[in-house]
Amino acid sequence: MTDEATPRRTAKPIPEVDRRALLRLARRSIQDYVEHGTYPEIPTGSGAMLAPRAAFVTLRHRETRALRGCVGQVSVKGPLAQAVMHMAVAAATQDPRFPPVQADELPQLRLEVSALSDMTPIAPEQIEIGRHGLLLRWGGRSGLLLPGVAVEHRWSREELLAGLCRKAGVPDGTWSKSDAELLAFETETWEETD
C-alpha cells in the first residue's frame, strides 16, 4: 500500500455528443453480433472516442433495473470506441452469470458505459464511496468493483473492501496484506434514456 494521492483523470471529459454516439455503438455492436456474428465499423469521431481508454459496459433490464450483464477491461488496449464495442458484445454474450442475450431481448435492455481513468495505488483511508472504483490483486487472483456498486448497495468503506475481497475470491481482509495490490480509478458513466 502507498500513501500516493487518489487517482487523477488522464483524459478530457467525454463530450455529450460522443457519449450518445458510444451508446449507439454499444447497442449496434450487440445487435450486429447477436444477429450476424459481426462487429460494426469503428466510427470516426472526436478525439474522445479515439483516445486510448479502458471501458466497462453494463446491461440492465429497463423495467426492473436488474443486472443482465457487465464486462469490462482494466488495461487500455486501444481507442475508447473499440473498447466500448468489444465490451458491449462481451457483456451480452460472455458474462458467466447470465445466458447470452437474444436478439428479441435487446429492446428491453438499457445500456450503460463507464470510461475508466488510469489505475492508481490508494490507501484504504483515501477511498471515497461513489468516487473510486477499486481493483484488488493478490496471489494470482483479482477483483474489480465500479464506483457505483458501493452506492447501489449503500456500503461503507469497510463493506466495500469486504465486497472487493469476495469479488476476487479471496478471504476478507486480504486487501490489507503487504503483498496485496489495491488500486483505485474513477469513471465517467452514462446510460441510455427512454
Burial zone of 118 (CB within 10 Å; 0-12 exposed, 13-18 middle, 19+ buried): middle
Domain that holds residue 155: 120-187
Contact present, 81 and 45 (Cβ < 8 Å): yes
Residues 42 and 74 in one domain: yes
Q: Tell me, what CATH number does 177's domain have?
A: 3.30.1490.150
Per-residue pLDDT at 45 = 66
pLDDT confidence tier of residue 11, bands split at 50, 70 and 90: low
| pLDDT tens-digit series, residues 23-78 | 999 999 999 999 999 999 877 767 888 899 999 999 999 999 999 999 999 889 99
Mean pLDDT of 93-106: 96
Mean pLDDT of 171-190: 96
Non-local CB neighbours of 175 within 8 Å, separated by 6+ positions: 124, 136, 138, 161, 164, 165, 182
Distance CA 133, CA 144 (A): 7
Q: Three-class SS of residue 115?
A: strand
The pTM for the full model equals 0.85
> Over 50: is that where the pLDDT of 137 sits?
yes
> Over 60: is that where the pLDDT of 10 sits?
no
Q: 80-93 and 16-36 are packed helices; what angle lies between their axes, rounded to 10 degrees?
A: 40
Least confident of 30-39, 41-50, 90-99, 139-148: 41-50
Per-residue pLDDT at 7 = 40
- The total of structural domains in the chain comes to 2
Separation in Å, CA 175 to CA 8, 39, 47, 164, 170: 21, 38, 36, 8, 9
| Final residue in a domain of this structure, among 98, 116, 134 | 116
> Over 50: is that where the pLDDT of 84 sits?
yes
Per-residue pLDDT at 41 = 84
| 3-class SS shares of the chain: helix, strand, coil, % to 5 | 35, 25, 40
**How is residue 72 written as a grid cell?**
469490462
Contact present, 123 and 3 (Cβ < 8 Å): yes
> Over 50: is that where the pLDDT of 3 sits?
no
> Over 50: is that where the pLDDT of 184 sits?
yes
Residue 11 lies in a domain: no
Residues 39 and 67 in one domain: yes
Residues 108 and 22 in one domain: yes
Q: Tell me, what CATH number does 38's domain have?
A: 3.30.700.20
Angle (CA) 137-140-141 rounded to 5° is 55
Per-residue pLDDT at 8 = 43
| pLDDT tens-digit series, residues 158-172 | 999 999 999 999 999
Contact present, 90 and 99 (Cβ < 8 Å): no
| Final residue in a domain of this structure, among 97, 116, 135 | 116
